[in-house]
Amino acid sequence: MKKAIIIGASSGIGKELAVILSRNDYIVGLAGRRVQLLLELQQELKNQSYIKQIDVSDPGPAMLLLQELIDEMGGMDLIVISAGQGYINPELEWQPEFETVKVNVLGFMAMANVAMQYFVRQGQGHIVGISSLAAIRGSAGGPAYAASKAFVSNYLEGLRFQAQKSGLDIVVTDIQPGLVDTAMAKGEGLFWVAPVEKAAGQIFQVIRKRKKHGYVTKRWRLIAWLVRIMPDRFCHNL
């Protein structure tokens, strides 16, 4: 059986992906801050699973704990880095900006670094990062969040180029969701909010097809195109 680790498995997309992967014959490693939620999720899973408390906002210990989890599972074939933080913060209060960068930039990079180095030694593997459609443009409402997700997408692209250059069978996938019905979907007047089950199902299909990129849900591909070409004066409300 293949082995997958999900960083940020306690809720949202990560939690639902754990259920889907277990249902599709994966042994799953569940990582997150909230152990009780991971234990509850473990009871829902069809196949064997492992739990590791990892707080990605503290990158040094998180890297060691991820390696411990890989060793306890006897290896991994797939990692999904789904842990994320975000705030609507037009006032630029420092603490929310700082917390967003700690989790979405430093925490993400720490997990991706361990995974990439492991897969290079192994000669194959699959890294999936959950970025966001917010990565495409800056955001007046959430400057740090949009910038952090742009970092995620660009870092994943850099890892993909490294993998291609090495000739190893390492797949790197950038998932850019639009609005999904999780705690991360904040604000008023939201539209096209996808159920988390639907979003996770589409992400799993992208993983199965070993694609380098996926919009979730698929209809957000059109919005992504429009946002890219939109004049700056229309982006003030993003």
Active site residues: 145
Q: How far apart are CA 77 and CA 63, in angstroms?
A: 17
Give the span between the Cα atoms of 207 and 8, in whole angstroms. 17
Q: Tell me the two tokens of residue 15.
A: 């939690």
What span, in angstroms and rounded, lies between the C-alpha atoms of 147 and 138?
Answer: 7
What type of residue sits at position 86?
Answer: G
Helix, strand and coil in the chain, % to nearest 5: 50, 20, 30
The distance of Cα 231 from the centroid of its chain, to the nearest Å, equals 29
* Residue 236 vs residues 137, 139, 141, 176: alpha-carbon distances, Å: 10, 7, 8, 21
The CA distance from 9 to 18, in Å, is: 7
